[in-house]
């Protein structure tokens, strides 16, 4: 059952060197740099996003993710979900409006995998960047780098992925779209969840440490755009993880690389869709190579082990 949670709305990432990071996210990924706040955090958005920002970078000593936020439909829904999160047993913190420039009140809560998530109902809405909302042209000509269109999802690593999946499903109305299950033990090793008709809005892989970040992903329109991203990765000697290739899980066409601080990024296109009546797609753990990298059919060590 949907519970008024609409979409991934923002992610705050820690970076080691702000100026290097800004060059990466603005000039290589092609996000739009929209703001720098009084804490020196840098704000970005994909050009098709109507809200004012979706990626926030904070300079710190260690890379990784501070939190990921989801936008809900109304302030009433925000209040209802807050009460349900408290009843579920989460520790809930209210972050006042304006702590992030242009964002309304945020409800931050912890999860069994040790990740912090937020809900919010209001954010300034300047509209898509570079095109008019009236008689809009197809795309703005000024885009840079990979021309990432929007922030799409995160993949997170942690121990109790069943616990976090249960929280997201019961309290926030997420739907389990795909999973990887070890058939012998019955252990779920990966869970893909959606609040929309996308194949996933967030995903988890079982991992002994809590609170780890695997990647933030951005949408491109075509396979040609993914190949063009691969060219840019070589042109600028960006650290490549794997790709271009296709996933078995979700069937997206993808490439993975690292920002200068070691946080993994993905750009991808295509893939499956999910409606509420769709059954859960299950991959066997013994097919994990093909599930993750459909062409190579083997996992690379970096993809499994390198998290921030």
Residues 149-168 that bind Fe ion (CB under 5 A): 155
Tell whether residue 250 is a contact of Fe ion (CB under 5 A).
no
Is 263 an interacting residue with respect to Fe ion (CB under 5 A)?
no
- Partnered with residue 179 across adjacent β-strands are 191, 282
Q: How far is the CB of 10 from Fe ion (least distance, A)?
A: 17
Q: Phi first, then psi: what are they for 113, rounded to 5°? A: -85, 0
Helix (H) or strand (E) holding 166: helix 161-172
Asked if residue 177 binds Fe ion (CB under 5 A), the reply is no
Element (H, E) at 257: strand 253-258
Which class for 38: exposed (0-12), middle (13-18), buried (19 or more C-beta within 10 A)? exposed
Q: Is 207 a catalytic residue?
A: no
Q: How many CB atoms lie within 10 A of CB 275?
A: 9
Distances (CA, A) of 248 to 39, 74, 125, 254: 41, 36, 36, 11
Helix (H) or strand (E) holding 164: helix 161-172
Instruction: Exactly one of 10, 200, 207, 214 is catalytic; name it.
Output: 200
Specify the residue, 118 or 201, whose C-beta has the smaller distance to Fe ion: 201
Decide if 153 is catalytic: yes
Crossing angle of helices 75-88 and 161-172, in 10° steps, is 140
For residues 52 and 175, which CB has a smaller minimum distance to Fe ion in the complex? 175
| 178 touching Fe ion, by CB under 5 A | no
247 is catalytic: yes
- Among residues 10, 24, 153, 207, the one annotated as catalytic is 153
Establish if 113 lies at the interface with Fe ion (CB under 5 A).
Answer: no
Q: Is 113 within 8 Å of 155 (Cβ atoms)?
A: no
User: If DSSP codes are grouped into helix, strand and coil, which group holds residue 287?
Assistant: helix
Residue nearest to Fe ion (CB): 217
Say whether 215 is catalytic: yes
* Among 10, 207, 214, 215, the one annotated catalytic: 215
Binding mask 190-229 for Fe ion (x = CB under 5 A): ---------------------------x------------
Indicate if 236 belongs to the active site: no
Minimum gap (Å) between residue 162 Cβ and Fe ion: 20
- Find all residues with CB under 8 Å of 246, minimum gap 6, and list them: 252, 253, 254, 293, 294, 295
**Interface region with Fe ion, contact rule CB under 5 A, candidates 34-42, 94-102, 222-230, 261-269:** 261-269
On whether the CB atoms of residues 173 and 119 are closer than 8 A, the answer is: no
Nearer to Fe ion, 129 or 257 (CB): 257
Phi-psi region of 64 (alpha: psi -120 to 50; beta: other; left: phi over 0): left
Choose between 101 and 178: whose C-beta lies nearer to Fe ion: 178
**Pick 52 or 308: Cβ nearer Fe ion:** 308
266 is catalytic: yes
Q: How far is the CB of 166 from Fe ion (least distance, A)?
A: 22
The interface region with Fe ion, picked from 19-27, 82-90, 183-191, 259-267 by CB under 5 A, is: 259-267
Question: Which residues in this chain contact Fe ion in the complex, by CB under 5 A?
Answer: 155, 217, 266
- Residues taking part in catalysis: 153, 200, 215, 247, 256, 266
């Amino acid at each position: 059952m949907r519970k008024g949670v609409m979409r991934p709305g923002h992610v705050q990432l820690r970076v080691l060197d702000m100026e290097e990071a800004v060059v990466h996210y603005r000039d290589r990924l092609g996000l739009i740099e929209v703001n720098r706040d009084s804490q020196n955090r840098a704000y970005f958005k994909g050009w098709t996003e109507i809200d004012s920002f979706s990626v926030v970078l904070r300079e710190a000593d260690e890379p990784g993710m501070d939190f990921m936020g989801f936008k809900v439909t109304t302030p009433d829904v925000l209040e209802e979900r807050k009460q349900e999160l408290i009843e579920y047993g989460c520790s809930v913190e209210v972050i006042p409006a304006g702590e992030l420039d242009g964002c309304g009140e945020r409800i931050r809560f912890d999860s069994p995998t040790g990740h912090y998530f937020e809900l919010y109902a209001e954010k300034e809405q300047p509209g898509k960047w570079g095109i008019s909302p009236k008689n809009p042209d197809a795309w703005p000509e000024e885009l840079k780098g990979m021309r990432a269109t929007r922030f799409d999802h995160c993949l997170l690593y942690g121990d109790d992925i069943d616990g976090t999946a249960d929280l997201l499903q019961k309290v926030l109305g997420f739907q389990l779209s795909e999973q990887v299950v070890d058939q012998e033990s019955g252990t779920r090793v990966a869970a893909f969840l959606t609040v929309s008709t996308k194949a996933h809005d967030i995903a988890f892989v079982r991992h002994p440490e809590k609170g780890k970040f695997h990647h933030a992903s951005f949408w491109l329109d075509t396979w040609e755009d993914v190949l063009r991203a691969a060219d840019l990765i070589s042109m600028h000697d960006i650290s490549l993880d794997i790709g271009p290739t296709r996933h078995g899980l979700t069937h997206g066409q993808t490439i993975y690389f690292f920002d200068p601080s070691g946080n993994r990024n993905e750009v991808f296109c295509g893939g499956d869709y999910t409606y509420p009546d769709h059954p859960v797609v299950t991959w066997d753990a013994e097919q994990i190579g093909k599930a993750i990298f459909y062409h190579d059919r083997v996992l690379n060590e970096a993809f499994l082990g390198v998290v921030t």
